[in-house]
Amino acid sequence: MKMRKLGALGPEISALGYGAMSFADFYGKATEEGSHAILDMARDQGVTHIDTSNVYGMGQSESFIGSYLAANPGARDAFHIATKAGISKDASGNRCFDNSPAHFEAELDKSLKRLGVDHVDLYYCHRRQADIPIEDVTGTLDALRQKGKVKAIGFSEIAPSSLRRAAAVAHVDAVQSEYSLQTRFPELGLVQTCAELGTALVAFSPVGRGLLTDTPATAEKAAGLPFLRTNPRFQTPNLEANLEILKGFRALAAEMGEPTAALSIAWLLAQGEHIIPIPGTRHTAFFRDLVRGTELSLSADDLARIDAVLPVGWCHGDRYNADQWNGPERYC
């Protein structure tokens, strides 16, 4: 497994991480047994970075990781664990954001208990609360780092300008953002700002929620999953248009003798040494295809051929609908 530093000041972690939202029921029913099988494979393949959150399955993802660590003495040393907080519910049960110091520390303590550890290696602000300056949030996270409860800090879905403001207070080890061959807006400032400031860019949904694989979701499958059912890219006629375009990419991967998912990961890794993809899957066979991407070295000609079949802006539909855009910062 290739290794990459978690930002300029961080430890070396695997170039490919694992997105443990798949340990919740977001893309289909997850089981503890199946989740443990994925973690077994992660250890076998040298995947060290595991990314979870307090809200993934309302703690289920963290609990599955915790039960695995409890059942496998020594496994904690094999993993670099990231979790998040900042998404909450108001008195009426509506989604809201809480970036208060009390919320971050209370949720961290709950996460540590579910995980069965005394610290996490990376702690993110999952979503920003608009009326609290990011400088204050950075100070809150850095205070937890000073206490030893977290080793590194980060933000999810923030703008490059917000990263600069945060970095003026304390070093930001990682920023998490959706980034893939079908979602390339981070190239309009975030990729560059992270590199300049020594911040890792942790890329979630690097295979486009399954579209950039050999088994993309059909309209029937998308209709059965709440998030995909309402996501513009998976709705008619966008989905059908996207699947038609993606035939060329899958054909290119087949010509190269590689899984489409592997080619997607290899392309992303080629965009910068500070980029760390964190795909998720509930299936070990698919996980192996993702790991294969770290074993590929794409030439300039390979990258040009990929750009030819999937040029910037090819994807039909926005990456989020109006409700899903509640929280991420738009900057271009």
Active site amino acids: 56
Residue that the structure tokens 């991407």 belong to: 293
Tokens of 245: 């375009």
Helices (H), ranges, 100-199: 101-115, 134-147, 160-167, 190-197
Cis peptide before 216 (omega within 30 of 0): no
- What DSSP character marks residue 24? T
- Residues 183, 212, 323, 50: what is their CA dihedral angle, to the nearest 10 degrees? -90
Residue that the structure tokens 């709705």 belong to: 235
- What DSSP character marks residue 170? S
Cα 20 to chain centroid, rounded: 9
Q: Are the C-beta atoms of residues 17 and 49 closer than 8 Å to each other?
A: yes
Sequence-distant (≥ 6) Cβ neighbours of residue 298 within 8 angstroms: 266, 267, 270, 306
- Is the Cα torsion angle 243, 249, 253, 256 positive or negative in sign? positive
HSE (side-chain half, CA atoms, 13 Å) at 171: 17
